[in-house]
A and B are shown apart, each in its own frame.
Chain A
Amino acid sequence: MTSAAVDTIEYDIRGQICPSTLLIALREINSHAPALRNGAVALLFLTTNRASTHTIPESAHNMGFYAEVTQHDGYYAIKVSGND
């Protein structure tokens, strides 16, 4: 885990077995929920798991957060934040 920016925490979970990506994302979204809500922090999940590109945004939306998915060279980045 590294801090890519002051307010963005990056999780490099590429190459992991299904469903660890979603489990890790849910755990981190829950543990950072207050900071996400007040806009102090955003979470960035890097994944090679195609299913998590819709399961993480779905879960984030259900919890009242926003999610943005972008494709990079061989992986996806899913940014979860308290606002769009």
Chain B
Amino acid sequence: MLLSPAVMLAVIGLILGLIAGFVMHRADFCIAGMFRDLFLFKSAATLRALVLYLAVAMVLFEGARLLGLLPLYPFPLLSPASLAGTLGGVLFGIGMVLAGGCVVGTLYRLGAGNRPSLVAFIGLIIGSTLYAEFHPFWKSILTATTLFSGSITIPQYLSLSPTPLVAVAVALLGALVVSWFRHGQLSRRLYAKGAMQLWQAALVLAGVSLASYLLIGMPLGITTAYAKIGAMGEQLVFPNHVAGLGFFASQPLSYRNPLTGTMLTGGPGPDLDGIALIQFPLIAGIILGGTVSALSLGEFTLGHPAPWRQYLSAAVGGILMGLASRMAPACNIWHFLGGLPILAFSSIFFLAGILPGAWLGACILTRWVVR
């Protein structure tokens, strides 16, 4: 083997991140905006791309599972549903609207030189790190409000094969997509240089998610790494405090990578472990993807300051998202691009939380931020 398993996984993560960041920047595939605009402008135009993504990802994931290509099903780190997780979804919804982008939208915009996204990125790290201070309390709430006997997915709970349930979901979502396609509602007239349609980006991202699931062993996920970055920084200043926090000592990741056969373990603590190996290259790739796309279009710029209210909003939004992505637990990318396609309970509960959260965020945005 020319590359060590660790280098191979890092390179795969970087490439997948680069593709995702590039495509998201070209299409402005902003999941925060999809939910926000539902309430702010009463428009579901952009949300249609997410529905298309779900339908395609469901087919791809289930097809791969039936072909025996997904030995880890459900994938590692996916939690059972919890009522408290829905509250995490609400906070996440508020945060992503205030930050002007979700955990991934923040990255590709940061890569393109957007200053408020840098502030949101720092807020995400701070929020993820702050969560460690009340992790034992929140974990007990999550456990106490866990539903469906701890089952991860609907098919698991019903003791059914995923295929018929996925088929029903794909039929329902597919009918919507076909209707939108017939009415010409999937495409818009685009003016930006090098712009991609959202539906095109949705198809590419479904391919990226499948590749991640096949090669890394799970779909795209990045938010544990935000806590890890924070822990690394905090350790420099308060090493004893970091060492005493249970959250940073936890090792939720423990699985055998299907591509290399390597056993990977890790958690949010400051060590360079399996989480760092999987998620750091992905984060770097998404930022770089945004940078490459913006530079190639002549759009990369750091020179335009925003009003102070928007920096404050980005900071508060980033901190809220960071906290919420650990409280839910996990972020919108994990749940929407990975969990919903396999009918995970926690992802459905997260979705139930993010809708009122996005509405609240839109209310706060129009009342206090955009003047």
Which of B100, B192, B299, B306 meets A54, CB within 8 Å? B192
Cβ-defined contact, A53 with B192, below 8 A: yes
Q: In the complex, what distance in Å separates the CA atom of A16 from the CA atom of B370?
A: 10
Cβ-defined contact, B191 with A16, below 8 A: no
Which B residues are in CB contact (< 8 Å) with A73?
Answer: 298
Cβ-defined contact, A23 with B370, below 8 A: yes
Which A residues are in CB contact (< 8 Å) with B114?
Answer: 15, 17, 48
Which has the most chain B C-beta neighbours within 10 Å: A16, A58, A73? A16
What's the dominant secondary structure at chain B's contact region? loop
Which A residues are in CB contact (< 8 Å) with B30?
Answer: 18, 51
Cβ-defined contact, B299 with A17, below 8 A: no
Asked whether A19 and B115 contact (CB < 8 A) given A54-B191, A71-B193, A74-B301, the answer is no
Asked whether A18 and B33 contact (CB < 8 A) given A23-B366, A75-B301, the answer is yes
Which of B188, B193, B299, B370 meets A48, CB within 8 Å? B299
Cβ-defined contact, B370 with A74, below 8 A: no
B contact residues, range: 35 or more
Q: In the complex, what distance in Å separates the CA atom of A26 from the CA atom of B142?
A: 42
CB distance from B205 to the nearest CB of A (A): 17
Cβ-defined contact, A17 with B28, below 8 A: no
Asked whether A19 and B33 contact (CB < 8 A) given A48-B299, A51-B28, A75-B301, the answer is yes
Which B residues are in CB contact (< 8 Å) with A58?
Answer: 188-189
Task: Tell yes or no: B261 within 8 A of A by CB.
Answer: no
Cβ-defined contact, B116 with A17, below 8 A: yes
Cβ-defined contact, B300 with A74, below 8 A: yes
Which of B56-64, B77-85, B278-286, B307-315 is found at the contact surface with chain A? B307-315
Which of A17, A19, A69 meets B191, CB within 8 Å? A69
Q: In the complex, what distance in Å separates the CA atom of A13 from the CA atom of B73?
A: 47
Cβ-defined contact, A14 with B100, below 8 A: no
Q: In the complex, what distance in Å separates the CA atom of A17 from the CA atom of B369?
A: 10
- Chain B positions within 8 Å of A, measured between CB atoms, are 25, 28, 30, 32-33, 36-37, 40-41, 99-101, 114-116, 188-193, 195, 298-301, 303-307, 310, 313-314, 365-366, 369-370
Q: A18-B101, A74-B300 are in contact. List 6 more A-B contacts (CB 8 A).
A: A16-B310, A18-B30, A18-B32, A19-B36, A54-B192, A73-B298
5 contacts between A and B (CB under 8 A): A17-B99, A17-B114, A19-B33, A19-B365, A74-B298
